[in-house]
Each structure stands twice: as structure tokens, then as C-alpha cells.
A = this chain, B = another copy of it.
Amino acid sequence: MTDETTRPWLDPLSVAAQTGTGYPNPFAAPLEGREKRRLGNALGLSQFGVNLVTLAPGSWSSQRHWHAEEDEFVYVLVGQVTLVTDAGEQVLGPGMAAGFPAGKADGHHLINRSDLPVLYLEVGTRAKAEVAQYSDIDMVARKDGGRFIFTRKNGEPYS
């Protein structure tokens, strides 16, 4: 009765995994073991993104950052992942959740310090204009329309 393009459900593993990041080098290297399956996009959603993310052992979710305009949410499905914030480190296992309200100036990221893959869901609002501040490196991201542009904090481009 339905087909791939209109049916409202899917098997997440049928969605192609994407790797890579827009980060300039050397900031992209810690993310090499990250794969994202963009479930929300595949289901026709546009107001928020929902990604099924796999982190290989050693991989990071992102550089540590916080968003000015976009709420973020994480739910751990498989494995043990380390959440890093200004307060330190917290290991989160399956069934644990985390949330990062827009504008809260506490950078966060996830690191897989275990020997096994980690799988989690991440949800984030899609704001038209956005600034992401990076806590540990000389980088800022600005979105005005579609894509994030990454520069030094003084606005100079990375060459």
C-alpha cells in the first residue's frame, strides 16, 4: 500500500551511513570513526534532525562545543560512552540520556574510550541561523542558511 518514498517508517540500518565533517584539519581527525545515519531526513522531517550515530573505539562525536540557538538531545542505545563537559567526565551506558539547551555556555562532546562500538540517537533543532562555540580549540562555526562555516575565533578563515 506504501512505497519507500512515502511510507512513514523505516529500518534505520537501511539508511546510508555518512562519514566526514566540515572541520578544518587537524580538528577532523578525532571524528574519523564516526558514522551518522540521518533518520529524520530519510523520513521527510525538517524541523529537527535525528541521527543514529556509531562511534568506533577512540572516536569522538565532535569537537567540544555548545550551540547558541539549537537544543540538542542524546540517548545511548549500545555501549559505554564518555560525556565531557566543563564539569568533567561522565560515562553513559545504554538507556541513559543527555540534553544541551540552546545558549547554555557549557561545551560538550562524546568520546568512545571503550574497546567496543557505541551507538546512540542524537536530536537537534534546525535553526536557520546558528553559532557554535568550541571550548578547547580556536574555532567558531556560523550557519546562515544551509551550512556551517568554520573559522578562527577572530573570524579569520582556515586556509
Contacts and interface: CB of A to CB of B under 8 A. Distances in A.
Given A8-B85, A9-B96, A44-B101, 7 more contacts: A2-B85, A8-B100, A10-B96, A43-B101, A45-B99, A47-B102, A48-B73
A148 interface: no
Chain A binding site: helix, strand, loop or mixed by DSSP? mixed
Interface residues of A, number: 44
B48 A98 contact: no
A101 to B, nearest CB: 4
A8 B98 contact: yes
Contacts of A42: 99
A92 B43 contact: no
A83 B102 CA distance: 32
B46 A101 contact: yes
Nearest to A123: B123
6 contacts: A11-B96, A40-B99, A43-B98, A43-B100, A47-B71, A73-B123
Interface in A1-50: 1-2, 7-13, 39-40, 42-48, 50
Contacts of A50: 73, 75, 97, 99, 123
A130 interface: no
A102 B43 CA distance: 11
B2 A87 contact: yes
A121 interface: yes
A145 interface: no
